[in-house]
Structure 1
Amino acid sequence: MSLFRRTHMSPLSRPRALSPRWWPLAPALMVTAALHAQAVQQRFDIPPGPLEQVLARFAQAADVPLALQSGKLQGQHSPGLAGSYSVQAGFDALLAGSGYRIGKTASGYVLVPASEAATPSAATTPAASGSLPAIQISASADPGEQRWTARDSASTTKTATPLIEVPQSISVVTAERIAAMGATTARDALGYTPGVNISPYGSDSRYDWINLRGFDAYSPGFYLDGLPLRNANSFAVWRTENYGIEQLAVLRGPASVLYGQAGPGGVVNVVSKLPSADAPRELQVQLGSDRRRQVGADIGGAIDADGRLLYRVIGVVRDAELPAGGMKNDRLYLAPSLVWKISAATSLTLQAALLRDQGGVYTRTRPLVGSLVPTAIGTTIPSELYTGNPHFDHFSQDQELFGYRLAHRFDERFAFTQSARVGHMSTDYRAVQTPRFATLNAANPNDPVNFQNLTRNLFGSRESATMFSIDNQLQADFSTGAVRHTVLAGVDYQRSRFDAVSFSGGSAPLLNIAAPSYPNGPFVVPAPYSDNRAVLTQTGIYLQDQIKWNNGWEVTLGGRHDSASSTVDNRLDGSRTSSTDRKFTRRAAVLYHAANGLAPYLSYTESFNPTATVNPLTNQSFGPETGKQTEVGLRYQPPGTNDLYSAALFDLKRQNYISYDANFMPTQKGEIAVRGLELEAVTQPMAALRLTAAYSYTPRAVVTASSRPAEIGKQAAAVLLHQFSVWGDHRLGNGVRLGLGARYVSATSGNGGGTPVKVPGYTLLDGLLGYDFARWSLALNLRNLTDKRYLTNCDTTASMCYYGDQRSVLATASYRW
């Protein structure tokens, strides 16, 4: 794989509106365009082992096909390979003194005796000559397999580190898996990932709410190609489109050393589809539940004959409805990108994305009494009841993203990368919400009339957001004796501004449970309770060293200092609130990568997240929340395969969060402790069968310190004791594909840990029926195949429960050329 294909690049050039003060420490962009061309090289870190296995690993890392004759290299050992090499130079170094060399044929690389001619013909290759069958080792040999699994990810180290060598829990969900499972949202795509709760608030058309290891992961937000999609605990939340995603990387546990402020549960990095010379061109049509009609296109390739200019254009047009109310669920998405290989050592990627959403609001929120438990007269609210109002409910969002990534390798030791992005978003949201029983006869609480109607209030917010982010990285690869170093030094900066005018309260017409009707009013809209402008900034300086010995030992050390500030202008009363937090976070890990594919590790990581809450005693903002985690894990990748098996035990704490005493006075005494086990397998046990399985066991997830003693020993947010999922995708010889998945979660006591009865566990089934022929691929996906009725969670403080998604059917026809 070339340097340019290995790097996930995000977007474009410096915007005219940006002040120069937003470009601290950013070197000049145009200087590198004039640097002289160098030989294309890659950084390799191949551990020692039997020579045949080391060659196989090198071929996989280089993304080239290799044919080996089994047994030819028996008994020969290799010290591995570390440093920057071209493909041919890497093979030459590995085979030095072995009596063999690598030859090049039209179909790839082959092992030949050192005395043979430099370029063996097809007639003299080992596969044609001989006595022993050739073993094909190639990342390209089975494109489907490669898209099903991922070999490396920059999401945990910001360097091209093989997943087997990542000393922290990470799961990578590829585009192939997203499509096979029929996932149309990011949260659906993560349904088979350990440690992830994709339904903390049930079915919701607005956002991809998820929890990681028991903590919210939607604030401060996802990452896109390594740069933040910053949220501000408001309703302007950046959205992504699954058709434009190459990978979803889920890093579990604190990650502030590389990403700055973040929650203790981890981060989600969305990796975009970008240009490549061999990317398939595709047209796609979808029909599905709720009048879904969607057309997608993914077109790209080389612009010039030399392949120095590569382009890709991804587009989606969707015309659909939400599951109730006849409300729209329409989308327009357009994502063009361009890669310019300026020289053999320098590349520039430009990327933009436009998204237009027009729709209503669909949630499945119900009163706790009447859903989890019957009312006083034994009745419940039908799960299919729509509690909003299509005449009032509305959600529209427009967003534009524009950015670039510049990558340059100075020599075999030093490389520089700069990524930057600007964005704008506007959101118009309003909804009839918070259904509760209307008490029509207060004198007799058990009168059936008190359980026949729902009262609801109104909520709305008109918001806009702008953002700018930049990340400068200098990487140095060098050796000191038998020790190899990959040192990463970086400076990043982000600035986001959020404007919001929000209202809450008022009233809507009563909703009769037995005979629901949805008149166009009267709606009593209250005055705004908030009219704010918030400006959030963060500047971080980080340093990381990945240290590797030839015997397989690896140590990762990292540290980062952040300065994060916020300024909130209240336009209702003219006040301003400002705060600045400075925090240093650490990371340390040790890993042993054995020649047999086992890789045990031990790691320690930290996080921080500023809080805007003001201490009433000092009139100053409280300090930031912090998180820390110790994790011990084991990965296994059988040599010569892309299969990956992972196990991790973790002890995670969220500390210094704001809790409130009985008089609602805030103090910074809160602590939550989470301990658990996570298992994951992504494998292809046979050529036509692909599997992914995940299991999470979380025996401890409780409040250990709080200003309110009654909270101690309970769960702040519902954390699943057991969570298990498995998906199998089998391709028959006649072109038919069959897939089946199961997702199980155990019972909980809800948010706050105090529901009157347990929120029941449930098992959901998902299915796939597909057929591939010529250039066509047809698929029929069913999620929640049995249309199971289930509650995903309840909240004892709000006295609300949340129903999960109903069955959905999606038919997809794709044509590739």
Structure 2
Amino acid sequence: MGVYALVSAQELVTINGKVTDESGDVIPGVNVYSNNGNEKTTTDNNGNFTLSVSKTSQTIKFSYVGYITTSRNINLNRGKITLNISLSTTKSDLQQVEITGRKEKTYKNTATFIGSKSEILLKDLPQSVSYASKELIADQGAVRVGDVVKNFSGVNQFSFYDDITIRGFRINGGSNTQLINGMRSSTGFWKQPLANYLERVEVLKGPSSALYGNASPGGVLNRVTKKPLAETRKSLSLSMGSYNTFRALADVTGPANKDSTLLYRLNFGYEDANSFRDLQFDKNVVIAPSLTFLPSKNTSLNFDLVYNDSKSRLDRGQSVFGTGNLYSTPQSTSLNTGNDRLNEKTYNVSLSLNHRFSDNLNFTASYMKTGYSEDLYEHRSANSYALDATGKAVDNLVAMQIFNRIRKRYVDNFSGFINYKIKTGKIEQTIVAGYDYASEKLPVGASQLTASNYRNATNTGSISFVKSDYDKDPTNYIKRFLVVNNLLVPNVPSFNLNDVMASQRLQDDSKNFFVQAAFDPTYYFLHAGYVQDNIKLGKLQALIGLRYEYYTDFANYLKPNEAKTHSKALLPRFGLVYSATQNINLYGTYVMGYTPQTASTLSNPNAGGPFDPLESDMIEFGAKTSWLDNRLTASAAIYQIKQKNVTYPANVAGQPDLLRAVGEERSRGIEFDLIGRVIPQLSILASYSYNRAYITESPIAAEIGVQKPNAPNNTANVWLKYNFVNGTLKGLGIGGGSNYVDSRTLSQNLTQTIPSYTLFNAALYYNIGKVQVQFNMNNITNKVHWVGGYDYIRLFPGTPSNYLFTLGYTFN
């Protein structure tokens, strides 16, 4: 099927026509292009197009997402040609595993792997999912997942780090409950890697333990890496912007051999950027190769690697004066010095196999290994203000400490399952049964030197100040400390908020007293078996699942008194979907979750414990709809999540990492999401969430009813992009949007809050053939805001007004 023209080379031929579907309805936005790709256009709102091509041998193709790419063969022997085309919808089966890359080039996505163990249409999943495609990520100029999640209802940043809140519950990259391609991983927590290697970012809302084991009850975040395509695509982009930012990104993909049985993709990213925060910078190199081998129509083998080498400094946040005035210090104020460093290396390498034994039976096996190494030297707050000789806090002096830490961490996980389809009369079933294994190990060799507290009276070491001991016998107790000008002399000089630049200068750390901090090796592993049945009868679908998980943690790992501790859980999942109309699906779901929380799991022996496992459950009802010939989708959800055996900071003097059990928390809310195209030239993403997440049980009566940390009651977001496809402005695109986050409570001190904020962002795009010029402007009004925080000594300010200029080039 093709269109060929055999005429003289120098003249042009104009082709007019209309594109419709099989039922005769017009299709706006269809790509119409010649065989060399240089002569192209798109159909308008009425499905009409006009294309001028040279009088040479031509192939004119017609392509649009969801339809079979079509071409025709005619002889161009006149000045004008009329050509009407009918496109057929694709009938391809859903994949059992994400084998090849997503070909769509829009914000909208129709299917996901995160909510089931094989691809499922989003409308048929009885649970809420929010996502952002690579197209949206690129249009917004987003380079971190923290920049992306603002688009999702009920999701916001918790801190600067790889650390977010979903429906009021926190998850972070250091907990290994975030996913890459549906497999458990760890990102190191402190720094968010570049997002250039991602096909999309998606969040499955609510407990996901029935699918992935221990995880946050708010939801699970999945990073989907770009997979190889069977067609050649190459792109390169260079970005420059505020704070001396420079980035270079490349993405190449296509077949590696003539019969396309071996496909490849390589994503590369380089970043060298400073920050609005004092002494902060990021130097990153990301290399992400991917290979897909298709030896037969029934077998596929995937290899994926994401390697990130990061050099930076660890930013512990902004500190303000002890009076509690958030505006008393510049948001640029960082407590670092010039000899601080944070060098991290992370790799995620995976291998997956999918084999189809028959049309009804598939087998999938995947293994992924994560390796993380950290080399840290930092000056940071001791989470308190410095003290005078009476134990009173001095408002302008932040108590300081030094961490010198080296450690490595490894995460292994395996997933194997079968997928079996059965049809009995009018009943269709898809049965999934499988086994999971996961482990995390902090091996021998992790070590940390810490300098903190106050100098003793003989200036030969450091000791902590305990206010209750001072109150018993002030005169004798204070004699144990070195006192100058009525101030306790700190082991590490305090940070003077009245003289920031002097405090940030290099110091002679050899004069400080360092002690070996406890950083023992840790190890845990889990085994799990599960079964899931997706039953379809007419307009009704039921998703029923059950997972049994057995978790083993080692207390005092590799020591003479090593002991195993165990926990187990039986986790049901039940969901129901009813297709009310062709465009509207209604659903309800009930799921349970759990997370063991021993000291080893928390990777911090100073946290206390062991604690009882976190147990959670969720009830959710919602609707998923599609409009405008499936170009636009909308969803709504109402839910309640409960979690018990929660822990919070104990706030005990001298034990900043100590935790305490609180009791129960509850989250109730509603969410709305809208994504797609209103017309072919206008893309939209919008979301709103109302979430009431609060403490319902606590031994401290005053905490009952208090808002959970960094869990805003209201969040809202909108982003629009319009492309001009005709006339003088052809090739120009305009984007813009707004993001609102309500006020929040801080995590270390539940009585401290940070204010709400509204940000406005905009973008301009201009395409000239294969070249795109893009300009992004964020926080246009220069709104002073905070994205999160632990307390008023560790606040995480948002970026002021900033810009990014990007030049992109696409190869055929």
User: Which TM bucket (shorter chain)?
Assistant: 0.7 to 0.9
SS in 1 for 2:233: coil
User: Could you tell me which residue of structure 1 aligns to residue 549 of structure 2?
Assistant: 562
Residue 430 of structure 1, CA deviation: 2.7
Contact 1:662–1:708 (CA under 8 A) maintained in structure 2: no
User: Could you tell me which residue of structure 2 aligns to residue 748 of structure 1?
Assistant: 744
Q: Tell me, in whole angstroms, the C-alpha distance in 1 between the residues paired with 2:218 and 2:321.
A: 27
SS in 1 for 2:702: helix
Does residue 589 (structure 1) correspond to residue 589 (structure 2)? The answer is no
Match of residue 668, structure 2, among 665, 675, 680 = 675
Quick one: which amino acid aligns to residue 707 of structure 1? P
Q: Tell me, in whole angstroms, the C-alpha distance in 1 between the residues paired with 2:405 and 2:177.
A: 19
User: Could you tell me which residue of structure 2 aligns to residue 10 of structure 1?
Assistant: none
Given the two structures, how large is their TM-score scaled by the length of structure 1?
A: 0.77
Match of residue 591, structure 2, among 605, 627, 633 = 605
Match of residue 804, structure 1, among 775, 786, 798 = 798
Residue 527 of structure 1, CA deviation: 1.4
User: Could you tell me which residue of structure 2 aligns to residue 468 of structure 1?
Assistant: 412
Does residue 768 (structure 1) correspond to residue 755 (structure 2)? The answer is no
Match of residue 359, structure 1, among 285, 307, 312 = 312
Structure 1 pair 577–527 and aligned structure 2 pair: CA distance change class (3 A): farther
Structure 1 pair 237–327 and aligned structure 2 pair: CA distance change class (3 A): closer
Contact 2:321–2:329 (CA under 8 A) maintained in structure 1: no
Match of residue 120, structure 2, among 152, 161, 164 = 161
Does residue 485 (structure 1) correspond to residue 429 (structure 2)? The answer is yes
Residue 574 of structure 1, CA deviation: 6.3
1:149-182 deviations in whole A, cap 9, x for unaligned? 1110010112211111111010121111111111
> Mean Cα displacement is larger for which, 430-439 or 188-197?
430-439
User: Could you tell me which residue of structure 2 aligns to residue 703 of structure 1?
Assistant: 695
Does residue 420 (structure 1) correspond to residue 412 (structure 2)? The answer is no
User: Could you tell me which residue of structure 1 aligns to residue 526 of structure 2?
Assistant: 538
User: Could you tell me which residue of structure 2 aligns to residue 502 of structure 1?
Assistant: 448
Structure 1 pair 525–541 and aligned structure 2 pair: CA distance change class (3 A): farther
Structure 1 pair 167–553 and aligned structure 2 pair: CA distance change class (3 A): same
Quick one: which amino acid aligns to residue 706 of structure 1? S
1:513-532 deviations in whole A, cap 9, x for unaligned? 34422222133263132221
Does residue 724 (structure 1) correspond to residue 716 (structure 2)? The answer is yes
Indicate the structure with greater strand content: 2
Q: Tell me, in whole angstroms, the C-alpha distance in 2 between the residues paired with 1:120 and 1:748.
A: 59
Q: Tell me, in whole angstroms, the C-alpha distance in 2 between the residues paired with 1:120 and 1:739.
A: 36
Structure 1 pair 802–385 and aligned structure 2 pair: CA distance change class (3 A): same
Quick one: which amino acid aligns to residue 147 of structure 1? T
Contact 1:737–1:771 (CA under 8 A) maintained in structure 2: yes
User: Could you tell me which residue of structure 1 aligns to residue 644 of structure 2?
Assistant: 655
SS in 1 for 2:138: helix
Q: Tell me, in whole angstroms, the C-alpha distance in 2 between the residues paired with 1:688 and 1:694.
A: 20
Does residue 261 (structure 1) correspond to residue 214 (structure 2)? The answer is yes
1:290-325 deviations in whole A, cap 9, x for unaligned? 222222211121111111111111111222334344
SS in 1 for 2:243: coil
User: Could you tell me which residue of structure 2 aligns to residue 54 of structure 1?
Assistant: none
User: Could you tell me which residue of structure 2 aligns to residue 739 of structure 1?
Assistant: 735
Contact 1:503–1:530 (CA under 8 A) maintained in structure 2: no
1:172-251 equivalences under 5 Å are: 172-198=131-157, 200-201=158-159, 204=160, 207-218=161-172, 219-230=175-186, 240-251=193-204
User: Could you tell me which residue of structure 2 aligns to residue 297 of structure 1?
Assistant: 250
Contact 1:70–1:133 (CA under 8 A) maintained in structure 2: no
Structure 1 pair 340–497 and aligned structure 2 pair: CA distance change class (3 A): same
Q: Tell me, in whole angstroms, the C-alpha distance in 2 between the residues paired with 1:535 and 1:435.
A: 28
Quick one: which amino acid aligns to residue 163 of structure 1? L
Residue 340 of structure 1, CA deviation: 0.8
Q: Tell me, in whole angstroms, the C-alpha distance in 2 between the residues paired with 1:407 and 1:652.
A: 35
Does residue 630 (structure 1) correspond to residue 619 (structure 2)? The answer is yes
Q: Tell me, in whole angstroms, the C-alpha distance in 2 between the residues paired with 1:192 and 1:158.
A: 25
Gaps of 5+ in 1: 1-64, 73-104, 110-118, 375-379
1:91-130 equivalences under 5 Å are: 107=62
Structure 1 pair 267–530 and aligned structure 2 pair: CA distance change class (3 A): same
> Mean Cα displacement is larger for which, 158-167 or 352-361?
352-361
Contact 1:755–1:794 (CA under 8 A) maintained in structure 2: no
SS in 1 for 2:106: helix
Quick one: which amino acid aligns to residue 228 of structure 2? P
User: Could you tell me which residue of structure 1 aligns to residue 352 of structure 2?
Assistant: 405
Match of residue 388, structure 1, among 327, 336, 341 = 336
Residue 440 of structure 1, CA deviation: 8.0
Does residue 271 (structure 1) correspond to residue 224 (structure 2)? The answer is yes
Quick one: which amino acid aligns to residue 540 of structure 2? W
Residue 534 of structure 1, CA deviation: 0.8
Structure 1 pair 312–135 and aligned structure 2 pair: CA distance change class (3 A): closer
SS in 1 for 2:419: strand
Structure 1 pair 535–66 and aligned structure 2 pair: CA distance change class (3 A): farther
1:466-521 deviations in whole A, cap 9, x for unaligned? 22211101000111110110111111111221143234442543444344222221
User: Could you tell me which residue of structure 1 aligns to residue 21 of structure 2?
Assistant: 67
Structure 1 pair 417–133 and aligned structure 2 pair: CA distance change class (3 A): closer
Q: Tell me, in whole angstroms, the C-alpha distance in 1 between the residues paired with 2:644 and 2:230.
A: 48
Quick one: which amino acid aligns to residue 520 of structure 2? N
SS in 2 for 1:190: helix
1:2-13 equivalences under 5 Å are: none
Q: Tell me, in whole angstroms, the C-alpha distance in 2 between the residues paired with 1:435 and 1:682.
A: 45
User: Could you tell me which residue of structure 2 aligns to residue 528 of structure 1?
Assistant: 516
Quick one: which amino acid aligns to residue 537 of structure 2? W
Quick one: which amino acid aligns to residue 358 of structure 1? K
Quick one: which amino acid aligns to residue 584 of structure 2? L
Does residue 513 (structure 1) correspond to residue 509 (structure 2)? The answer is no
Give the superposed CA RMSD: 3.5
Structure 1 pair 459–645 and aligned structure 2 pair: CA distance change class (3 A): same
1:120-159 equivalences under 5 Å are: 146-159=105-118
Does residue 714 (structure 1) correspond to residue 658 (structure 2)? The answer is no
Residue 716 of structure 1, CA deviation: 3.6
Contact 2:598–2:609 (CA under 8 A) maintained in structure 1: no
Does residue 785 (structure 1) correspond to residue 780 (structure 2)? The answer is yes
User: Could you tell me which residue of structure 2 aligns to residue 457 of structure 1?
Assistant: 401
Does residue 432 (structure 1) correspond to residue 416 (structure 2)? The answer is no
SS in 1 for 2:296: coil
Given the two structures, how large is their TM-score scaled by the length of structure 2?
A: 0.77
1:715-750 deviations in whole A, cap 9, x for unaligned? 342321111111111112321121111111122343
1:329-344 equivalences under 5 Å are: 329-344=282-297
Contact 1:366–1:435 (CA under 8 A) maintained in structure 2: no
Structure 1 pair 522–276 and aligned structure 2 pair: CA distance change class (3 A): same
Q: Tell me, in whole angstroms, the C-alpha distance in 2 between the residues paired with 1:595 and 1:425.
A: 49
Q: Tell me, in whole angstroms, the C-alpha distance in 2 between the residues paired with 1:252 and 1:221.
A: 14
SS in 1 for 2:744: coil
Quick one: which amino acid aligns to residue 281 of structure 1? K
Structure 1 pair 120–297 and aligned structure 2 pair: CA distance change class (3 A): closer
Residue 443 of structure 1, CA deviation: 8.1
Quick one: which amino acid aligns to residue 506 of structure 2? N
Does residue 323 (structure 1) correspond to residue 276 (structure 2)? The answer is yes
SS in 1 for 2:210: helix
Structure 1 pair 564–435 and aligned structure 2 pair: CA distance change class (3 A): closer
Quick one: which amino acid aligns to residue 114 of structure 2? S
Quick one: which amino acid aligns to residue 179 of structure 2? Y
> Mean Cα displacement is larger for which, 510-519 or 592-601?
510-519
Quick one: which amino acid aligns to residue 404 of structure 1? L
Q: Tell me, in whole angstroms, the C-alpha distance in 2 between the residues paired with 1:236 and 1:172.
A: 21
Q: Tell me, in whole angstroms, the C-alpha distance in 2 between the residues paired with 1:430 and 1:662.
A: 25
SS in 1 for 2:137: helix
Residue 703 of structure 1, CA deviation: 1.3
